[in-house]
Structure 1
Amino acid sequence: MNPSKVERSRVLRLTDLPNIGKAGAADLELLGIQAPEQLMGRCPFEMYAALCEITGQLHDPCVIDVFISVTRFVSGEAAKPWWDFTQERKHKLMQLASPASRSI
Structure 2
Amino acid sequence: MGTPKLPLTDGERKRLREAKIKLAEVTNYSPAQLSVSLNVPENRANTLIALVQFQNVPSIGPKLAYNLVELGFYSLEQIKSGGESGAQLVERLERLHGVWMDPCVEDVMRLAVHHASHPGSDKQWWDFTTERKAYREQYGYPADRPSKAWHELRK
Please give the range of the TM-score, normalised by the shorter of the 2 chains: 0.7 to 0.9
**In structure 2, which of residues 65, 68, 71 is the aligned counterpart of residue 31 of structure 1?**
71
Structure 1 portions without partners, runs of 5+: 3-9, 99-104
> Who is 1:84 aligned against?
127
Aligned residues: 91
Q: For the aligned residues, what is the CA RMSD?
A: 2.4
State how 1:1-104 maps to structure 2 within 5 Å: 13-40=53-80, 41-76=83-118, 78-97=121-140
Q: Percent identity?
A: 33
Q: Distance in 2 between matches of 1:88 and 1:29?
A: 24
For residues 46-93 of structure 1, the C-alpha deviation after alignment (integer angstroms, 9 at most, x for no partner) is 100000000111110111111111211111262211111101100000
SS in 2 for 1:34: coil
Q: Distance in 1 between matches of 2:128 and 2:134?
A: 10
Q: Does 1 or 2 have the higher relative contact order (CA < 8 Å, sep 6+)?
A: 1
**Given the superposition, is the C-alpha separation of residues 55 and 80 from structure 1 closer, same or farther in structure 2, using an over 3 Å criterion?**
same
State the TM-score, normalized to the length of structure 1. 0.76
State the TM-score, normalized to the length of structure 2. 0.53
